Structures are given as structure tokens and as C-alpha cells.
Amino acid sequence: MKVTLISIPVLNQEKALQFYTETLGFIKKKDMPLEGGNRWITLVSKEAPDGIEILLEPAPLHFEPSKVYQEALMEKGIPYTQFDVDDVDGEYERLVALGVEFSVKPTVMGTFKFAVFNDTCGNNMQIVEML
């Protein structure tokens, strides 16, 4: 058994697609229409194009428990998930220059450094560097 796909709940799939590709640098892998104007949009990392796919899931628009969970995480400042990076400081500077808003600046905690940003689609996301 292995992980091949993770879902990230997003409030607007098109806005999420633009942010995750143009700002974060992910690559669109699949984009197929679904019922109700939704799409099956998956992304992959440039560093691992055959790796785990990220599904931009429109669940908060159609499934109230997903919306409540997403809003609760945002309210508490808890990241929905994390992305590993080689250099948190460098990635932080790159993203700030692109207008990304961080709620937590690069911070060392034990054997890792992290920072938390708003993905503009209803989620806090964390970038992590192992030290």
C-alpha cells in the first residue's frame, strides 16, 4: 500500500490552481470536468512529477463538515498540511516577494525550521526544512 494522492480543500478551484501553480510552482497533472461545474484537478511537484498528486478538492462548497473543519483550522492558525523544502528562509523570501502572507515567519523548533502561510483558498499551509 502507498499514498498516491492527497486532497486539499479549496474554496475556489480556479484561484487555487493559479496560486498553487503560478506562486508555489506545482505542475498541473490532471484537469477533468465533473458534475456541477467542479473539476478533478491534480498537481505534482516539479521535483517529483511522477510522485504524489495533490487534489484541489472543492469539498467545502458541497460538504458542510468539510467547511466547518477548514474554518476551524484557519481560526486556530493550524496548517492543513505541510510541504518540505530545502531552505525555509529562501522559500519564505521568494513567496513574500510574490505577495504571499505568512502568519508564522521562519521559526526553528528542535530539528526543523518551519513557516506558515495563507494559501488564499481557505487554508494555512506549512513549509518545513529538516535541520
**Domain total in the chain:** 1
Q: What is the pLDDT of residues 11-57, one digit of tens each?
A: 999 999 999 999 999 999 999 999 989 999 999 999 999 999 999 99
Q: What is the pLDDT of residues 117-131, one digit of tens each?
A: 999 999 999 999 999
- Confirm if 41 and 55 have CB atoms less than 8 A apart: yes
Read off φ and ψ for residue 46, nearest 5 degrees: -60, -35
- Confirm if 66 and 27 have CB atoms less than 8 A apart: no
Q: What is the pLDDT of residues 44-81, one digit of tens each?
A: 999 999 999 999 999 998 899 999 999 999 999 999 99
- Could you tell me the residue range of the domain that residue 91 belongs to? 5-130
Dist. CA 54–CA 31, nearest whole Å = 12
Q: Which CATH number fits the domain that encloses residue 17? A: 3.10.180.10
Dist. CA 93–CA 108, nearest whole Å = 16
